[in-house]
C-alpha cells in the first residue's frame, strides 16, 4: 500500500520501546528474522505474520558469528533500501536493523569469541552441521554455523518481544533447531514453519541465488526436480530404497552440472534417521550442493509426493 509507514528501528532501546507500546495496546506481535536481501520467500513470512498477529516486525541483521572464516560474510548481499521498500509494500509495521556493534558491542565477530554460546546438540550433528564446522586460526576445531545462529537468534528473541516467529521450510534444519531451542529454554513464543517459496521452475528462493550466472541458473532447478523424483520413489517403494535413491540423486545432480554434492540424505521431520517402522509420510529428502559461487539447499517432504 503506497504511503504505508514502516518504522525503521536501529537500537535495542527503540525496538523494546515499540514492542512495549504495542503490548500496552493489547496487540500481538509476529517476528520474521532475516539477514536482508529480501525476496518473496521472506516477504511471504511477513504476510503470515500480518495475517496471524496484530503487528509484524522484521529483523534485518547479517549475523557475523554464523559465518566461518572462509565463508561469504563480506560478499553476502546487502540491499537495505530495497528491503525497506519491499516491507512498506507488504505493510510491515517495523524493521529492526541494528549495526553489528549494537548486537555485539564487545567486538565479537566469530562464534569462538563469544563468552556465552547457545548450542543445540543432536540436531546440529547431521546434514549441514558437519559441513559447516571450521578450523580456527590456532588450528583447533571451531564452533559451527548453527551455534552462531542459535546464539544470535536467542538474543534477538530476548530483544524483540514477540508472540510468534516465522521460519521458512527451505532451511528446514534451521527451523527445527530454533524450535528445539525455544522449547528447551521455555520461551513463550511459537515457532511457525512456512512453506518454501519457489520460482516457476521450482528453484527455491534464496538470497544466494544472486551468485548464479545465467548458465548456472538454468541448471539450479534440477535440484528440486531430483529431490522430488527421489521422494516419489521412496513414497512408492518404502524405506528399503533410501540408500540407492540418495546415491542416484547425487549422481544425477553431478551429471546435470552441479560442481559438488555435499550431501543427499533422508531424515524424519524431527531430523531422526529412518528405521524399520518409520512411516514414509514422516520422511524428508534433504540436499546441499554447490554450483559456481552458490551453495544451494533444498528439501522435499515425501508425504507431498504420495499418490503423485
User: How far is residue 128's CA from residue 257's CA, in Å, rounded to a whole number?
Assistant: 21
Nearest residue to 231 via CA among 221, 241, 216: 241
Grid cell 529454554 — which residue?
A: 185
Helix axes 40-52, 80-89, angle to 10 degrees: 40
Nearest residue to 282 via CA among 293, 294, 298, 266: 266
Which residues are registered as beta bridge partners of 295? 290
Catalytic residue among 42, 110, 256, 290: 42
- At 292, list the grid cell: 559456481
- Residue 42 falls in the annotated catalytic set: yes
Annotated binding site for ATP: 35-42, 168-171, 197, 205-208
Annotated binding site: 35-42, 66, 168-171, 174, 197, 205-208
Nearest residue to 224 via CA among 286, 291, 306: 286
Q: Tell me whether residue 74 is exposed, middle or buried, using C-beta atoms within 10 angstroms of its C-beta: 0 to 12, 13 to 18, 19 or more.
A: exposed
CB 137 within 8 A of CB 144: no
Which residues are registered as beta bridge partners of 168? 194
**Phi, psi values for residue 50, rounded to 5°:** -65, -35
- At 105, list the grid cell: 558491542
CB 66 within 8 A of CB 152: yes
Annotated binding site for (R)-pantoate: 66, 174
Hey, which residues are catalytic here? 42
Amino acid at each position: 500500500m503506497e504511503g504505508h509507514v514502516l518504522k525503521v528501528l536501529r537500537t535495542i532501546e527503540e525496538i523494546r520501546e515499540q514492542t512495549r507500546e504495542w503490548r500496552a495496546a493489547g496487540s500481538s506481535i509476529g517476528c520474521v528474522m532475516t539477514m536482508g536481501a529480501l525476496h518473496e520467500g521472506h516477504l511471504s513470512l511477513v504476510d503470515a505474520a500480518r495475517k496471524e498477529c496484530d503487528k509484524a516486525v522484521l529483523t534485518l541483521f547479517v549475523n557475523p558469528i554464523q559465518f566461518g572464516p572462509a565463508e561469504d560474510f563480506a560478499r553476502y548481499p546487502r540491499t537495505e533500501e530495497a528491503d525497506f521498500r519491499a516491507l512498506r509494500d507488504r505493510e510491515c509495521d517495523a524493521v529492526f536493523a541494528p549495526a553489528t556493534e549494537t548486537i555485539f558491542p564487545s567486538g565479537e565477530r566469530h562464534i569462538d569469541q563469544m563468552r556465552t554460546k547457545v548450542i543445540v546438540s543432536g540436531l546440529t550433528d547431521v546434514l549441514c552441521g558437519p559441513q559447516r564446522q571450521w578450523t580456527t586460526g590456532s588450528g583447533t576445531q571451531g564452533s559451527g554455523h548453527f551455534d552462531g545462529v542459535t546464539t544470535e537468534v536467542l538474543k534477538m528473541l530476548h530483544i524483540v518481544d514477540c508472540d510468534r516467529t516465522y521460519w521458512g521450510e527451505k532451511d528446514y534444519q534451521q527451523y527445527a533447531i530454533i524450535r528445539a531451542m525455544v522449547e528447551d529454554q521455555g520461551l513463550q513464543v511459537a515457532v511457525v514453519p512456512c512453506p518454501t517459496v519457489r520460482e516457476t521452475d521450482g528453484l527455491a528462493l534464496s538470497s544466494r541465488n544472486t551468485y548464479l550466472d545465467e548458465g548456472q541458473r538454468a541448471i539450479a532447478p534440477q535440484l528440486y526436480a531430483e529431490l522430488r523424483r527421489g521422494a516419489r520413489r521412496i513414497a512408492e517403494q518404502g524405506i528399503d530404497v533410501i540408500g540407492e535413491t540418495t546415491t542416484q540423486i547425487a549422481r544425477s545432480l553431478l551429471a546435470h552440472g552441479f560442481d559438488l554434492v555435499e550431501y543427499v540424505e533422508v531424515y524424519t521431520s524431527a531430523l531422526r534417521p529412518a528405521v524399520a517402522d518409520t512411516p514414509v509420510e514422516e520422511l524428508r529428502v534433504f540436499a546441499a550442493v554447490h554450483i559456481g559461487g552458490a551453495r544451494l539447499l533444498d528439501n522435499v517432504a515425501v508425504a507431498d509426493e504420495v499418490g503423485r
